[in-house]
Structure 1
Amino acid sequence: KSNSFCTLLVRFYHSTMATPKKVSRKSTKSTSQSKKAGLVFPVGRVGSQLRKGRYAPRVSKGASVFLTACLEYLTSEVLEVAAKAVIQRNKGKRITPRALTLAVRHDADLGALLKDVTLSRGGVVPKVEKALDKKKKSGKKSKKSSATPKV
């Protein structure tokens, strides 16, 4: 056993050198793209739908995050308007398809965006044409009853 400087250096180097088998990785939980972006809607699923849809040859990660954020914002706006409409009409605490339809149609921006959309079980906005309204009776009395008899 020679304890030369080179031998000691090689032993020390090999004992401290980390090989892939010896290195213990700290197990960290993976964070989803939605969590990283601060969104509730699934960014990964929207991204995979973009890729499967073949809308473009290549789709970046930023595109799926942006589209997911837009979808989440629009959904929150529609639900907010519908919730306000339900509360104002004292119709309970449940948002129905009818409440969604009425809320969207009465809002100018959402109505323009969703003008060609038909919501299932939503019905239509009640509207009566002016031509179909009942005509008001005039307050004039007939000539016979109002005329004074001549003597």
Structure 2
Amino acid sequence: MSAKRPKASRSVKAGLVFPVGRICRYMKAQNLAKRVSIRAAVYLTAVLEYMTAEMLEVSGITARANKKQRITSRHIRLALEDDELLGKIFDRTIVPHGGVRPFIEPALLVNKTR
């Protein structure tokens, strides 16, 4: 008799880290449609994983530029401001403890033409 191998999860089959089964369950709970395809859940999970990885990568670069070892919510906020695509997607997003948008009134800047 051969020993039973444990079933591979849908996340492992799709090559993803985020849980496909949980995303599928959430999609079904939202009553988006009468039926939800597993392919739709895999696609949404892949998009969420990519967006998270991209945001963490840019935030890590921002933290390193500020000579810090850890990514804080301020680094996430600054990264969202710096990246053009992420800035458009997360334009109206509030990052808790992220601080304010960096802005200096142009009238306060030193005029170098004098």
The TM-score, its normalising length taken from structure 2, stands at: 0.91
**1:111 maps to which residue?**
87
Query: Could you say if the C-alpha distance between residues 96 and 57 of structure 1 is closer, same or farther in structure 2, counting changes exceeding 3 Å?
Result: same
Number of residues of Structure 1 aligned to a counterpart in Structure 2: 112
- Looking at structure 1, the residues matched to 31 and 49 of structure 2 have their Cα atoms a distance apart, in angstroms, of 22
Partner of 2:42: 65
- In structure 2, the partner of 1:40 is 17
**Which whole-Å deviations, capped at 9, do the CAs of 1:83-140 have from their partners, x for residues lacking one?**
01111221x2100000000011111110001001001111122211113x1676xx7x
Change (3 A) 1:103 1:135: closer
- % of aligned pairs identical? 39
1:82 aligns with 2:59: yes
Larger radius of gyration: 1
State the Cα RMSD in Å.
1.7
Q: CA deviation at 1:69?
A: 0.1
Q: Per-residue deviation at 1:42?
A: 0.2
Establish whether residue 99 from structure 1 lines up as the match of residue 91 from structure 2.
no
Moved over 3 A (4+): none
- Structure 1 residues without counterparts, runs of 5 or longer: 1-23, 140-151
Unaligned runs of 5+ in 2: none
Question: What TM-score, normalized by structure 1, do the two folds share?
Answer: 0.70
